[in-house]
Structure 1
């Protein structure tokens, strides 16, 4: 089902552990992902994406190039390219500064935004000499001379950076030069406005991750101004009982119409304020104080805006991620609250309790101020501006909406996320999130009752690589993923992947509904009256579905495994016998349960009956498979429905056992006869001098030999014969001085003895577990002594071994072997109350 012109995309199943709140990748099945498209070229680092919904174009900024792709199918041949790489001379200058010739001394496109209706604007690092230029949209060519970009673009590809063009004005935040402090700037048009550095620094080693424009002037009854919010992590100087970390996550704000002060804070922001973002698990005293990514989800009104952020703790080399959500109303509440005390006064970490100037410091120009003759920031009084200069930080923290993360995951580093609203069949709006990881996976989740429910986890690349950017297109119903190797386009949902009603409903995908036969995309259906969906609970709307029926007929005291394959890794297997749930799975109960199925240990006639495997998920039991098990005394165990190959009576297990015993008896008799013959020859014919045989003749012949060569030759021959003798386990008969009688031939060599049933010596240097295969009593090929044999992928059959074989350190019994496996697998079993699911 993958597009023929694109490389394979793959997806994987998940299972969930409620105790840690993490998702564990349990069963990786590499399958083609429906609707996957890919674009890549000779360049790398496709980190900057700009989607133009109306034009149907996706602009991509990479290292040394900019591309214009067809948003419907990014893999088609209509892609246009602007090549823009630094010259060799500029690369050499970069190298002379001690920069990395593999990453830093290239032109990385860091900024790509629409400037007006006809042009785009882009900026690149240009080998540590940033430049910017305009792009003509129609011709897709650079339409101007390159401009100096050091005030607009960072020098390096890894420096934290965010930028927006709002009403043809460029707002950026970064550490622009490697020796300067981080800064928020409005570059065009002049005059340029920036943050203050003295006497109080407004930023302390800030690392910017995102920014957002919120048009709070629309529909405002107070004549409020639009605001730009910046999200970053910085070094903390305040100390509070709740928050005492070295680095903290922040949100900052400036007013779009801010032009700086007249004398005080001249060409500096007069409206800048910042506050702390709190994403934590209070019950575990675990704080996620480093912000990795932010996404702004617009609401029906500007005041309904939501911010979704990816956070991690400050610990290095520990992969832990959390997703928290913040509301704009909570951010505004904090900015309207008390200020933090002047940090230069020595009273760190305390709330300011003195008099607050009027107008309120950090506020935008409103109708109330205009009525007082303050029409711009240049008219603000000096006492207000001095207060803003020394008190940029708010005392209260911005708490997440649920007072805890929506999702907390171990062993995962989220790098990017995007979100959008989907209306379900119940009329409610659900937030669907896409989250990229540092090793090239994409998680799709829906927010339900204050938690993120993972729908699926998608593996995007053959080799692990970081997800650098994400963009959602509502028109194309696609999500675009930028990475170091290329761009991947995926559909927002592929409902036809679900094959049953329970799969469709349990997925809780707001795009998918069940019509009685298929799982359909509800956005493509004009008539939705016959569709069933349950995003809120994920367990309603399905009737009983057909169940597989199998039968087993086994011998008494045989161990048999009843296989149960559950499609959802979030489901828990529940077994019943004749309608009653099996309680306890210890050794004394006669049953063991594992991920492969139910093991009946030393089956007895009373264990015959109908066994049913149910998948328990979201409080619903779904019958998966039924087994009719018959324990009998007179037949060998068989496996149904797969028929066993026909065997003849001669090759039946009992016939083979009789043949083996007969062979041992015959060989034993021959050995006994040979022993008698040897004794007769040794004692009755000892006195003969010619034509006779003796066990000591070899030594006498060697002592009487006179010729040195003959003596050496004879000794070598004797040593060779003696070596063969000991190796074979028999005495060698050698001639004496005389020649054998011409009328009597030497007796034929004795046939080799069968190996003794209990011998500590193995002349073939083989393990006792590696003997020849014989048909087992149940008609299947097995190894003697018996070991665990895998059958049909997950089933196992048992061949018993004697006590002597069981005591061998090289072979363990079936029970010991299976117990070891089940004990290991027990740690990966699912807990009874998962709160996330996947396909």
Structure 2
């Protein structure tokens, strides 16, 4: 009785742990319940072996993180670790590459090691800046083993034109420190954490006067990590005589006091005026125009925020007001993969900088909105015609009360919201690292933004923005070994995208329209670069007769109604009772298969229907003569079905006779012979026609042998069940009469490993029976056919039962029950070398399909698997599993006639 109580306690504890785990999973999964139309699946997956038009550049150097594209000279300049390269932009793999080696000396490396830096990553010269300085020279800066240096490069000869100069105020010390820099009219604007223990700073380094951000009494930047910057020519066409502005994008530690979910980091945008000269006395050598605001990229309806800004790309418009910013955002949790793409307009940013300010009374309190009086002229604005009319021509003429207000109020209260107030894209299992945008005019006259997004595992996603959503056209695997994409550049002249990574540089065409082989395939892609000309899918930029082209980017469905489907035609001949797989490969991840027989769609795929289906094909189980006919597989996408392959299946009546069994040749033949009924010698029956050649294991898979094995297994297992029943009755009787002998299940022992150790040591020579659940097969997603596992190792009832000999304690007055006979070896239906070339495993009807190049999803399970095994008796469950195994024996060569 005490043992029963312990077992009940263990069961109660297990249930409590299970409920607690479910609650934790529910809470942890809450933020990821997002609209399905935002979590987009790439339509096509292209592996590295299938890339077309790909060119690569590699050398002995690593970490190709900095790139500069010169359209006029058709050169691509690449900065790596210890070297700078000049490549032919039209073909980076050509032999015309030039190189400047810029390594650190052994003494400099030794000094770096004395600072406690890593000799494998940090004590090298990583090129962080590579930009044009004037018409004849480039300017570059490197970390130089934690002692930054900068140098001028003569473009024509591609050599250093002078000795390296001090770069401590222009370049960060480390190779991974957030950094951005611009050279505008030979003036250098940089943002980073420059020195080892310094605060982040935005600086104008040259020419004089040099400017920087303020540290006291109010620090303008808090652990900022910069990702990008850009110049916006707001003075062009300005009616107010406004100044050009430089915008900086970064992530920093949060300062605001909010009532919603607390965030430790926030994405920001800051700006300074290009003509800023600092203050005369107050804010001397400091920015007088510095303002910053929060960039919001969130799912507001779900209170889910992406606070980490990873990359920014600027798309200029016809006017400065039409400028757009595309940003890649991530989560603060480093162990959770998720990314979002948000788009912002410059007008929204300007509106935030014209709104209310934030205020911080002391260093210990949070920032909140300022409600007091604002000085005139408005703090943080650039010099305009209105100020010039008042005699304020430069920032040094601004009043002290304005400059004091700027010093204490750098943060704006209004947040910059994305276009349409939601992200363009959300990806659960992808960490995007870089983004680049190309503007393409479609055949409908509209301009479409095509985004190229690199991941931290070396994949490149191409997507098009349509009505506030992103449609991912394709995903391309650029590298065999996973590695992050460090940089992206687009050349409209070369019609190429350049990708920088730790191992090298990759050049890809902006589009590969010849990949789409049919009209519907070309239209379904919704690629603004591609259109159908009646014969093939072509690039619209290189096509002259654009009026005859077909393209539908908004819907991806119209234009191919008058074209004929060119499906593959195949013929197959099989015998009655055989299994055959009809393969149907779908190139699109967004397509679903649809099968028809003689023009009529299948109505069901139950266990008794004789069919199993998945994205890899259709399985006909134990073919019948009435199943002959024309089988057609359609790919259904965008509510349109397109024929992929048609099979003309002929099922013959002739069946091969069973072959004579030689027990000495087959270890399982005797087992089959004993269970097969014999015929009387005098009985005369017509002999069937001679059988077709059989594969080595066809004798074992014959219907007679299979039936004999099933009957033998059922008989043996039935006997074991009887023994098990006797043992359980005996245990129950012992518990009722109060004997001290104890019979334990290993499940209870696992729940209480420390209980009654001494008692078990006294009965080592006894035996007991154990019930063990044997799982069938897991599909890779944690879903098992017949058994379900929990994180704590507990196994729910399911699968089938096996009786295992073990240890127990006999009754002092009765003989222990006899040991259970061992199970006969299970016949091996297929050798380990058996190759199912049909793409399905022996666990049908659970079918797996490949998705997004990285994962699999379960498409369909049989009706039996959706029902709990607890609803069946032992015999029913065993019959069901054996019937299932029988149905899953596939032909080794499904594309040939069945034998």
Give TM-score scaled by structure 1 length: 0.77
Distance 2:290 2:381 in 1: 9
Task: State the shift of 1:394 in Å.
Answer: 1.0
- Distance verdict in 2 for CA 1:363–1:577, change over 3 Å: same
> Equivalent residue for 2:250?
232
> Equivalent residue for 1:374?
392
> Equivalent residue for 1:262?
280
Q: Determine whether 1:424 maps to 2:442.
A: yes
Distance 1:780 1:499 in 2: 40
Distance 1:245 1:813 in 2: 58
Distance 1:161 1:754 in 2: 71
Distance 2:500 2:359 in 1: 43
Distance 2:131 2:434 in 1: 19
SS for the counterpart of 1:275 is strand
After superposition, the C-alpha distances for 1:8-38 in whole angstroms (9 at most, x for unaligned) are xxxxxxxxx9588254899775534222111
Tell me if the contact between 2:191 and 2:200 (Cα under 8 Å) persists in the aligned partners.
yes
Task: State the shift of 1:91 in Å.
Answer: 1.1
Distance 2:551 2:704 in 1: 45
After superposition, the C-alpha distances for 1:650-706 in whole angstroms (9 at most, x for unaligned) are xxx43xx35x16x78xxxxxxxxxxxxxxxxxxxxxxxxxxxxxxxxxxxxxxxxxx
Task: State the shift of 1:585 in Å.
Answer: 2.2
Distance 1:141 1:829 in 2: 58
After superposition, the C-alpha distances for 1:156-210 in whole angstroms (9 at most, x for unaligned) are 1111000000111000000001111000000000111000000111111110011
> Equivalent residue for 1:110?
128
2:52 is matched with which residue: 22, 28, 34?
34
1:810 is matched with which residue: 806, 811, 826?
826
Deviates more, 1:291-300 or 1:577-586: 577-586
Distance 2:254 2:48 in 1: 45
Tell me if the contact between 2:289 and 2:382 (Cα under 8 Å) persists in the aligned partners.
yes
Task: State the shift of 1:563 in Å.
Answer: 2.1
Tell me if the contact between 2:42 and 2:589 (Cα under 8 Å) persists in the aligned partners.
no
SS for the counterpart of 2:170 is coil
> Equivalent residue for 1:400?
418
Distance 2:344 2:848 in 1: 40
Tell me if the contact between 1:121 and 1:135 (Cα under 8 Å) persists in the aligned partners.
yes
SS for the counterpart of 2:523 is helix
SS for the counterpart of 1:198 is coil
Distance 2:472 2:365 in 1: 45
SS for the counterpart of 1:398 is coil
1:783 is matched with which residue: 678, 685, 697?
697
2:654 is matched with which residue: 635, 654, 661?
635
After superposition, the C-alpha distances for 1:67-110 in whole angstroms (9 at most, x for unaligned) are 11111111212222111111111111111111111111111111
- Distance verdict in 2 for CA 1:517–1:755, change over 3 Å: closer
Deviates more, 1:482-491 or 1:819-828: 819-828
Distance 1:242 1:215 in 2: 37
After superposition, the C-alpha distances for 1:406-450 in whole angstroms (9 at most, x for unaligned) are 121122221111111011111111111111111222111111221
> Equivalent residue for 2:297?
279
SS for the counterpart of 1:173 is strand
> Equivalent residue for 2:678?
none
Task: State the shift of 1:397 in Å.
Answer: 1.2
Equivalent residues in 2 for 1:753-772 (5 A)?
756-758=670-672
The alignment's C-alpha RMSD in Å is: 3.0
> Equivalent residue for 2:642?
622
> Equivalent residue for 2:114?
96
> Equivalent residue for 2:789?
none
SS for the counterpart of 2:416 is strand
Tell me if the contact between 1:22 and 1:410 (Cα under 8 Å) persists in the aligned partners.
no
Q: Determine whether 1:569 maps to 2:589.
A: yes
Equivalent residues in 2 for 1:504-515 (5 A)?
504-515=522-533
Task: State the shift of 1:557 in Å.
Answer: 4.5
- For structure 1, the residue ranges without an aligned partner over 5 or more in a row are 1-16, 637-652, 665-727, 729-750, 761-774, 789-796, 832-839
Distance 1:414 1:306 in 2: 19
Equivalent residues in 2 for 1:259-338 (5 A)?
259-338=277-356
Task: State the shift of 1:635 in Å.
Answer: 2.8
Equivalent residues in 2 for 1:256-655 (5 A)?
256-342=274-360, 344=362, 348-542=366-560, 543-632=563-652, 634-636=653-655, 653-654=656-657
SS for the counterpart of 2:857 is coil
- Distance verdict in 2 for CA 1:419–1:518, change over 3 Å: same
Distance 2:47 2:480 in 1: 13
Deviates more, 1:545-554 or 1:182-191: 545-554
2:857 is matched with which residue: 828, 832, 835?
828
Tell me if the contact between 1:45 and 1:62 (Cα under 8 Å) persists in the aligned partners.
yes
Tell me if the contact between 2:45 and 2:475 (Cα under 8 Å) persists in the aligned partners.
no
- Distance verdict in 2 for CA 1:434–1:321, change over 3 Å: same
Distance 2:53 2:374 in 1: 58
- Distance verdict in 2 for CA 1:27–1:356, change over 3 Å: closer
Distance 1:624 1:143 in 2: 62
- Distance verdict in 2 for CA 1:27–1:455, change over 3 Å: closer
> Equivalent residue for 2:200?
182
Task: State the shift of 1:505 in Å.
Answer: 1.4
> Equivalent residue for 1:72?
90
> Equivalent residue for 1:696?
none
Tell me if the contact between 2:673 and 2:705 (Cα under 8 Å) persists in the aligned partners.
no
Deviates more, 1:45-54 or 1:556-565: 556-565
- Distance verdict in 2 for CA 1:587–1:349, change over 3 Å: farther
After superposition, the C-alpha distances for 1:223-278 in whole angstroms (9 at most, x for unaligned) are 11111111101110213134520011111111111111111111111111111111
> Equivalent residue for 2:221?
203
Q: Determine whether 1:146 maps to 2:169.
A: no
2:79 is matched with which residue: 46, 61, 68?
61
After superposition, the C-alpha distances for 1:333-386 in whole angstroms (9 at most, x for unaligned) are 111111122253766353211111111111111111111111111111111111
Distance 2:313 2:42 in 1: 25
Distance 1:805 1:360 in 2: 93
Tell me if the contact between 2:593 and 2:635 (Cα under 8 Å) persists in the aligned partners.
yes
Task: State the shift of 1:784 in Å.
Answer: 4.7
Tell me if the contact between 1:554 and 1:635 (Cα under 8 Å) persists in the aligned partners.
no
Structure number with greater Rg is 1
- Distance verdict in 2 for CA 1:576–1:317, change over 3 Å: same
After superposition, the C-alpha distances for 1:108-153 in whole angstroms (9 at most, x for unaligned) are 1111111111111111111111111111112222112322110110
Distance 1:755 1:776 in 2: 22
Tell me if the contact between 1:544 and 1:622 (Cα under 8 Å) persists in the aligned partners.
no
Distance 1:605 1:242 in 2: 67
Tell me if the contact between 1:111 and 1:163 (Cα under 8 Å) persists in the aligned partners.
yes
After superposition, the C-alpha distances for 1:772-817 in whole angstroms (9 at most, x for unaligned) are xxx99776636257679xxxxxxxx999554237757735999xx9
SS for the counterpart of 1:153 is coil
> Equivalent residue for 1:834?
none
After superposition, the C-alpha distances for 1:731-776 in whole angstroms (9 at most, x for unaligned) are xxxxxxxxxxxxxxxxxxxx9999523599xxxxxxxxxxxxxx99
Distance 1:589 1:238 in 2: 63
SS for the counterpart of 2:826 is coil
Q: Determine whether 1:134 maps to 2:152.
A: yes
Tell me if the contact between 2:324 and 2:344 (Cα under 8 Å) persists in the aligned partners.
yes
Distance 1:194 1:584 in 2: 71
Distance 1:595 1:810 in 2: 32
Distance 2:365 2:667 in 1: 96
- For structure 2, the residue ranges without an aligned partner over 5 or more in a row are 1-34, 675-688, 715-823, 831-839, 850-855, 861-899
Aligned positions, number? 686
